[in-house]
A and B are shown apart, each in its own frame.
Chain A
Amino acid sequence: MLERAGIPAVSICTDAFKITAAAMAMSLGFPGYEYVTVPHPIASRTGQELVEMARAVVPEVLRILGVDH
């Protein structure tokens, strides 16, 4: 597991999944207990929409990683 050896990790989940996302992160063996959410759905988005979602979510990722930005 990544946490055991010590690299910080963040999970991205859709907001439809929010309540059990932490459970999912743990049970999937990916230790990013902290997670950021993106709006559901994902599968049907265009490339440009995904770029915008990435821009919107990265500051949250940085907050979790404790990075000043």
Chain B
Amino acid sequence: MREPLLDPTGDSEREINTTLMPRPGSLRGLTVGLLENTKPNAVPLLQAVGRELTDRYGVREVRMFRKGYFGTPVEENVIQQMLRNCDFAVAGIGD
């Protein structure tokens, strides 16, 4: 009998999936959300990443968001704003 093999990690059932999301393929015309965690130099590094993405890869818009405190999860309203306004996200910096 043909049946799918089950995933023992529970990832396939969880709302948060650790497998990668469908990939955009091209960044042309997309909006990137940059999430900085208040660590020193997080903002300038992310801004530089944003400039690379717009200059070389066709990203249309860069938006910067801030995490309230580096040690705790990102706030729900920040997540919602990123979801509403951005096509993908880059966060930094863990150190």
Contact assessment for B49 and A29 in the assembled complex, using a CB-CB cutoff below 8 Å: no
A50 and B21 in contact, given A1-B79, A28-B73, A65-B88 (Cβ under 8 angstroms)? no
Contact of B57 among A4, A30, A62, A64 (CB under 8 A): A62
In this complex, how many residues of chain B approach chain A with their Cβ under 8 Å: the count is: 47
Number of A-B residue pairs, CB cutoff 8 Å, is 151
Contacts of A45 in B (CB 8 A): 41, 45
A residues with a Cβ closer than 8 A to B are 1-14, 16-17, 21, 24-35, 38, 40-43, 45, 47, 50-51, 53-55, 57-58, 61-62, 64-69
B residues with a Cβ closer than 8 A to A are 15-18, 20-27, 33, 35, 39-42, 44-46, 48-49, 51-53, 56-57, 67, 70-74, 79, 82-83, 86-95
Main secondary structure of the interface of A (DSSP, over half): mixed
Contact of B51 among A3, A12, A54 (CB under 8 A): A54
In whole angstroms, what is the CA distance A11 to B35 when docked?
9
Contact assessment for B88 and A35 in the assembled complex, using a CB-CB cutoff below 8 Å: no
Contacts of B73 in A (CB 8 A): 27-30
Contact of A47 among B39, B44, B46, B83 (CB under 8 A): B44
Contacts of B90 in A (CB 8 A): 9-12, 32, 61
In whole angstroms, what is the CA distance A67 to B79 when docked?
23
A3 and B27 in contact, given A12-B94, A17-B95 (Cβ under 8 angstroms)? no
